[in-house]
């Protein structure tokens, strides 16, 4: 049996690294109270967003644009009130994202992260990275995801950032680097459910590399994560079972194994066909003694 790579063996050594069960999202710190004027203008902009949900098509797009522009005006107007400016910038970014204007959303996400790093630092950077990725600016997105992860590596956003970095590496044909990054995401996952998610990506990356044994090993590890939770909170256990069953790696591995088996079978059948179709060597005819005697005379 082929030896598993060092990176895969590392997946075995997860003892205690992955937190069990579901992880609660960290509470967002409450910032200073906003001025009455700022609260009033932000509320008015939120009303414009709610109105956009009542319509569809071009009209919805226009209303979202009006609402996002209203938030942007608040950012400028309350530049001396950082809490209000940051909140308005975050909401402007979210609204521009729904509108489909990635560059404008990116700008506002970064502004919110800069003005109020405590409340919007990580989520603002993560949002900006998402917008950069959607604009196919891979290098910028990689850098920004890394900055978002570094703010607090323990959070779900940091985990998602690690996964996106690995997925972009895989898309860029950097399979070995992607496998390493997925392994890091698995080891540092903030919950068992997130670990199963990372295991799914890691197993599929091994399949891309052609190591089906390693992929099966990772799936078995995910199965162990579920088994370790048996006897715990029934709701959590049910969620983990569903997450494991929905792993795309199951189907991907079966397809890869079938393809591998078919290839081996095709090789055997081809060899058999060649043997059957090969021309048979004719044995030289034996000359009769009478003919030999005649020729000798």
Chain segment 67-116, per-residue pLDDT in tens: 999 999 999 999 999 999 999 999 999 999 999 999 999 999 999 999 99
pLDDT, one tens digit per residue, over 198-213 is 999 999 999 999 999 9
Q: Are 249 and 203 in contact (CB under 8 A)?
A: yes
The owner of tokens 């608040």 is: 74
pLDDT on residue 262: 79
Quote the longest CA-to-CA distance of the chain: 133
Which pTM value belongs to this model?
A: 0.78
pLDDT on residue 216: 97
d(CA 249, CA 245): 10
Instruction: Give the N- to C-terminal CA distance of the chain in Å, as an integer.
Output: 72
pLDDT on residue 185: 97
pLDDT on residue 40: 97
pLDDT on residue 79: 96
pLDDT on residue 25: 54
d(CA 223, CA 213): 15
User: Structure tokens of 288?
Assistant: 């009769």
Q: 118 exposed, middle or buried (CB, 10 Å; 0-12, 13-18, 19+)? A: exposed
CA dist list (Å): 83 to 20, 32, 273: 36, 7, 77
Q: Are 237 and 229 in contact (CB under 8 A)?
A: yes
d(CA 211, CA 162): 22
The owner of tokens 């690294």 is: 17
pLDDT on residue 253: 96
pLDDT along the chain (297 residues), means of 10: 43 40 55 90 97 96 98 97 97 98 98 97 98 97 98 97 98 97 96 96 97 97 94 93 96 94 64 64 60 52
């Amino acid at each position: 049996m082929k030896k598993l790579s060092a990176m895969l063996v590392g997946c075995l050594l997860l003892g205690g690294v992955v937190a069990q069960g579901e992880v609660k999202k960290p509470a967002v710190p409450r910032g200073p109270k906003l001025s009455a004027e700022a609260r009033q203008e932000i509320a008015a902009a939120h009303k414009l967003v709610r109105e956009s949900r009542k319509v569809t098509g071009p009209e919805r797009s226009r209303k979202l644009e009006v609402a996002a522009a209203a938030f942007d005006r608040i950012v400028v107007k309350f530049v001396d009130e950082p809490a209000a400016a940051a909140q308005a910038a975050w909401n402007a970014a979210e609204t521009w994202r729904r509108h489909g204007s990635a560059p404008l959303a990116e700008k506002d996400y970064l502004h919110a992260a800069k003005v109020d790093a405590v409340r919007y630092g990580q989520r603002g950077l993560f949002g900006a990275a998402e917008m950069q990725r959607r604009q196919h600016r891979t290098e910028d997105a990689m850098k920004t995801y890394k900055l978002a992860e570094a703010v607090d590596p323990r959070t779900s956003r940091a985990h998602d950032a690690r996964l996106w970095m690995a997925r972009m590496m895989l898309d860029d044909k950097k399979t070995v680097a992607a496998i390493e990054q997925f392994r890091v995401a698995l080891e540092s996952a903030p919950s068992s459910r997130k670990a199963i998610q990372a295991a799914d990506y890691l197993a599929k990356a091994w399949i891309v590399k052609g190591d089906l044994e390693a992929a099966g090993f990772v799936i078995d590890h995910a199965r162990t994560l579920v088994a370790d939770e048996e006897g715990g909170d029934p709701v959590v256990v049910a969620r983990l079972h569903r997450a494991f069953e929905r792993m795309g790696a199951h189907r991907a591995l079966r397809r890869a194994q079938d393809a591998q088996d078919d290839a081996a079978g095709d090789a055997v059948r081809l060899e058999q066909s060649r043997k059957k179709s090969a021309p048979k060597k004719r044995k030289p005819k034996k000359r009769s003694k009478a003919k030999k005697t005649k020729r000798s005379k």
